[in-house]
Structure 1
């Protein structure tokens, strides 16, 4: 995938490099945010009707069948739903279900790429529109070195306010990649990036080795026009089945610090509506 030279440890006299991965439908087969809806229902945070609505949103995410107005209504609904939730309770639910929900939906091809990049001496960075409290433990599970994700506002009472502090979407992803490259000393011309969405074209264009993964129609057209490689990932596999072959050194788990899936659904669904508009171009 990356090429034979990518499996060689990089010359330490050269600038550092990294591989930037979008998360949903690039590394994992579903929406990281919406995957936790059943757990929130079982934990008493949402009722059956709310669980069905988030299940529908997951279907829409996978099938691409909703228009902007539908997604905007869902965004407003979820924003109101999540406001006032106790963060600690959500953390406990996510920590208890992270491995059961996320481990089985990680693409084998993505796990192999992460392994190759680490073997080559590159940092691995997850860049996702989903909430940081969900993305960070997933990144830890994958052995990522850094995570860029949406940050939700938490009030003084320890509950979600329904507001977004930082929205990791579209051009802001590219800006975050450039800022991280400046702070870590990455040579972006020698870096890699992977995404499934046309909204991530700015991020892909910011590196020397962009790749379209399971691309939507708009990204596929752009990738063909720019001669970017197109990869098809379709084999989810449990990471623990790959542990004997993983070369990444073990990292301390951050599961105890895991948090909020549903609160980030507000930002995640805004992102999805924008993805739909971009894909329809």
Structure 2
């Protein structure tokens, strides 16, 4: 790494920059607006969320489930629903500590990148609302009409996939890991592969598992939302 190496500030999204899980919250929202069966969807959503927290999630199965209602409703209805989701659910949870952290890195001249295991449909408007142009999210396959099929395109940005997708992102800019200085903020042990790869890992609003690992390894611990713990 050269003395003038670019500095990257990498952020997980759910429970890191947000005090909630946007994917889970979107699922709850689709039930509230009548797109999904309340009992069956809640049961399956809770099961997938438990697998995510346990590190046993099949991300392909989950994305098929998570995007199904969007796929069936079509582009116009989906866009309108997401705009309402942003107003009613996300905007009240774009909290000052997270905005301040982003602006601290922006002021320092760092390149800002959100790296999330949540799909691009849910997260791109959230990244835009946070003023972060670079988003590495689960990309969705599209059919001949340009609409979602329910499958994932390429490598999902989940667990080890976050490292692979960041390597692709760096390569597109002519960089390798040794050409940049990286800081990564995350709450989850699912992100250990990337936390272990970067120069400066920051356990942010960490769950008990990650907090214990961070303490043992001497990583910085940042609690952005103590009132939401």
Matched with 2:149 is 161
The answer to whether the 8 Å contact 2:27/2:66 transfers is no
Which of 69, 73, 86 matches 1:98?
Answer: 86
Matched with 1:170 is 159
Matched with 1:203 is 194
Structure 1 residues 83, 162: closer, same or farther in 2, change over 3 A? farther
Which of 172, 176, 183 matches 1:183?
Answer: 172
2:208 maps to 1:229: no
Spell out, residue by residue over 1:57-97, the C-alpha distance to the aligned partner (whole angstroms, 9 max, x if none): 698599x6x8959x99x949936954851331212210233
1:104 CA displacement:
1.5
Matched with 2:135 is 147
The answer to whether the 8 Å contact 1:223/1:229 transfers is yes
Describe the SS at the equivalent of 2:164.
Answer: helix
Which of 203, 206, 209 matches 1:218?
Answer: 209
The answer to whether the 8 Å contact 1:106/1:236 transfers is no
Matched with 2:122 is 134
- Structure 2 CA distance for aligned equivalents of residues 156 and 189 of structure 1: 38
2:21 maps to 1:31: yes
- Higher relative CO (CA 8 A, sep ≥ 6), structure 1 or 2? 1
Unpaired segments ≥5 residues, structure 2: none
- Structure 1 CA distance for aligned equivalents of residues 50 and 27 of structure 2: 14
- More deviation in 201-210 or 185-194? 185-194
Aligned length: 221
- Structure 1 CA distance for aligned equivalents of residues 182 and 67 of structure 2: 40
- More deviation in 18-27 or 222-231? 222-231
Matched with 2:101 is 113
Mapping 1:59-98, distance limit 5 Å: 75=62, 78=65, 81-82=68-69, 84-88=71-75, 89-98=77-86
Cα RMSD over matched residues?
3.4
1:42 CA displacement:
4.6
Structure 1 residues 106, 80: closer, same or farther in 2, change over 3 A? closer
Q: TM-score, normalised by structure 1?
A: 0.66
Spell out, residue by residue over 1:86-121, the C-alpha distance to the aligned partner (whole angstroms, 9 max, x if none): 331212210233132112223432221101000001
- Structure 1 CA distance for aligned equivalents of residues 189 and 171 of structure 2: 25
Unpaired segments ≥5 residues, structure 1: 1-12, 238-281
